[in-house]
Amino acid sequence: MTARHLLVVLGDQLNPDSALFDGADPSCDVIWMAEVANEACHVWSHQSRIALFLSAMRHFAADRRIDGWRVDYRELPATAEDDNLPTLEAALAQAIERWTPQRVIWVCPGEYRLRDALAAVVSEAGVPLEARGDRHFLVDDAWFADWAAGRKTLRMEHFYRAQRRRFAVLMDGDEPVGGKFNFDAANRQSFDARGPGLMPEPARFPPDRVTREVIDLVQARFLDHPGQDHDALSRFDWPVTPAQAEQALVDFIEQRGHAFGAYQDAMWTDAPWLYHSRLSAALNLKLIDPRRVIEAVESAWRDGRMPLAAAEGFIRQVLGWREFVRGLYWWGMPDYARGNALEADEPLPTFYWRGRMADGEPIPMSCLDQAIGQTLRLGYAHHIQRLMVTGLFAQLLGVRPQAVHEWYLAVYVDAVEWVELPNVLGMSQYADGGVMASKPYVASGRYIQRMSNYCAHCRFDPGEAVGESACPFTTLYWDFLLRHRERFARHPRTALQWKHVERIDAERAAVIGEQAESWREALRASSRGEG
Ligand code: FAD
Ligand code: SF4
């Protein structure tokens, strides 16, 4: 068996319009894809995340075969004993041996670790490697590097405005439609005591035969992975094909898009989806093009189906944040992954992985119980749950950023490193020392009280920093301000927030410090011992 070119398709590159296929010829080239255990285990991946990747990959391979391609697809064996190719490196080396291609072609892998490891395999085999740019993204690495050059700080808002102009999105000639680029002020509402009320159910995609087979495989190979104790696989309903991704987009615009802006930061007990789109996994696996998503949302505004603040708020996420974090990832790696500007070194509490305290009791902080429970059940939490509940708690506690990163990369169905790492290390943990966020995103329990109803079901009081009923977020918030006073009290962006610390006398500061330390002590004892 020989192939002219071996066309490498990784699990998050399921784009039939990819540059990989430019000039390719089904009569002499071969698509290569592989399922390997290490990609599910290098972080302890959530079962739904594994199932999503494998199902979407198998659907992609089947569609390419229908298009006339030869696809060399390596399925994961049902037992570890039968598995002699645990890594992508080993599988690729074997495929090169099998096909003896004149050239290996790929679109640059989305993860630094894999890019280097797989490039080394090809080089070792003595075969030329042709790397092509990933045109799924609107902004390429060279544009980002040019834009970033000479800037002391990289601010998403500046980047976003440049993309709005470059791609003429929501623009009226040179001016933004509605007279401004940013409708954030209209986009921070919470629900009143009645809550969100009856919400339209998002489009769901119950497992077909391919997904059911994959779910059985995940049960057989990854039984102890996160999700198992929360019956996650029985709830699996993510889009796994381009047609389903398109359906999810249309459903979002018709059913929930109108209120996306207003309630994008709001949280509510047992309401995981609210007005969010559930499109991140489909986007990250490249089942749908971000241009299509942006264009559909802009059209919905132009036709009067979405208010401008909602359409702008959504496009800001896709054209702004998503492209920005990708640029930042490639610009900053590999050093970016090692950042720990605040020298945090606590372990991640076990309850992040298990959804329960070490003694089996539910997590007593209702907000964490909701955000983590939902994450383990569904592989999903929305942006503010990730940033201002789980991320915030880890930051206030002083958890080592790399342990936080590992958790986020493992437990979300949409987690791929280029988007997860900057969001976690940069935005949520301030581990990059302010490259991505101008200041640490820290708040007390009062913020969670304002944006959700979680506190109404909690035994703690978000207004209290010390004492029996003190909210751990509030205790740890004041402790964080006190601990990092030197660094931030004189910084122009943070001085105002830190000014409040001046009102705390030494005696109260000591009590806050002791109470914060007792939380740390208790949680350290229950940690999983991750490194
Ligand atoms: P919506 O709220 O409907 O937003 C629409 C789309 O905008 C999303 O589908 C996503 O593609 C994009 N988007 C929104 N916010 C961001 C952002 N901050 N960065 C990049 N794109 C964004 N997103 C991931 O795709 N994968 C991750 O691993 C991931 N990890 C995160 C970790 C932390 C600590 C934080 C704070 C955010 C993270 N995000 C991640 C961003 C965001 O939380 C998810 O994209 C979003 O919750 C996915 O749900 P949705 O599709 O319903 O999004
Ligand atoms: Fe979370 Fe504190 Fe509110 Fe409880 S009181 S839900 S711990 S913020």
pLDDT of residue 33: 98
pLDDT in tens, 206-257: 999 999 999 999 999 999 999 999 999 999 999 999 999 999 999 999 999 9
CA proximity to 512, closest of 472, 453, 458: 472
Q: Using the atom order of ligand 2, give the atom closest to the CA of residue 461.
A: 5
pLDDT value at residue 269: 96
Q: What is the pLDDT of residue 491?
A: 85
Q: How confident is the model at residue 531 (pLDDT cuts 50, 70, 90)?
A: very low
The predicted model gives 473-497 an average pLDDT of: 92
Are residues 426 and 328 in contact, defined by beta-carbon separation less than 8 angstroms?
A: yes
Q: What is the pLDDT of residue 528?
A: 47
Residue 489 has a pLDDT of 87
Q: How confident is the model at residue 492 (pLDDT cuts 50, 70, 90)?
A: confident
pLDDT score for 530: 41
Closest ligand 1 atom to the C-alpha of 252? 3
Ligand closest to Cα of 382 equals 1
Identify the H or E element spanning 450.
Answer: helix 445-451
Confidence of residue 527 (pLDDT cuts 50, 70, 90): low
Taking the centre of ligand 2 as the mean of its atom positions, its distance from the CA of residue 459, in whole angstroms, is: 8
Distance CA 242, CA 185 (A): 34
Q: How far is the CA of 79 from the centre of ligand 2 (A)?
A: 43
Q: Which of 468, 473, 476, 523 to mutate to test the pocket of ligand 2 (most atoms within 8 A of CB)?
A: 473
Q: Of 76, 49, 52, nearest to 205 (Cα)?
A: 52
What confidence score (pLDDT) does residue 494 get?
87
pLDDT at 187 over 90: no
Ligand 2 touching residue 473 (CB < 6 A): yes
pLDDT at 275 over 90: yes
Contacts of the segment 474-478: beta carbons below 8 A, 24+ positions apart: 474/444, 474/445, 474/446, 475/512, 475/515, 475/516, 475/519, 476/393, 476/396, 476/397, 476/516, 476/519, 477/396, 477/442, 477/443, 477/444, 477/445, 478/444, 478/504, 478/512, 478/516
What is the crossing angle of helices 506-525 and 472-483, to 10°? 120
Q: What is the mean pLDDT of the chain?
A: 95
- State the pTM of this model: 0.97
Whether 114 shows a pLDDT value over 80: the answer reads yes
Comparing C-alpha atoms, which of 354, 493, 329, 330 is closest to residue 424?
A: 329
462 CA: nearest ligand 2 atom: 5
Determine contact, residues 237/413, Cβ cutoff 8 Å: no
pLDDT at 191 over 90: yes
Give, using CA atoms, the residue closest to atom 6 of ligand 2: 455
Residue-level pLDDT at 9? 98
Cβ 428 under 6 angstroms from ligand 1 = yes
412 CB near ligand 1 (under 6 Å) = yes
Q: Is the separation of the CB atoms in 114 and 34 below 8 Å? A: no
Q: Which of 406, 414, 428, 442 to mutate to test the pocket of ligand 1 (most atoms within 8 A of CB)?
A: 414
Q: What digits encode the pLDDT tens for the residues 402-459?
A: 999 999 999 999 999 999 999 999 999 999 999 998 899 999 999 999 999 999 999 9
Question: How remote is the CA of residue 374 from the centroid of ligand 2, in Å?
Answer: 16
Give the pLDDT of residue 209. Answer: 98
| Average pLDDT value for residue range 46-63 | 98
- Rounded CA-CA distance 415/408 in Å is 7
Report d(CA 153, CA 436) in Å as an integer.
7
Q: What is the mean pLDDT of residues 481-488?
A: 93
Q: Is 458 in the pocket of ligand 2 (CB under 6 A)?
A: yes
- What pLDDT was estimated at residue 153? 82
Q: Is the CB of 382 under 6 A from ligand 1?
A: yes
Query: How far from each other are the two terminal CA atoms of the chain, in whole angstroms?
Result: 45
Instruction: Give yes or no for residue 455 CB within 6 A of ligand 2.
Output: yes
Average pLDDT for residues 506-517, to the nearest whole number? 96
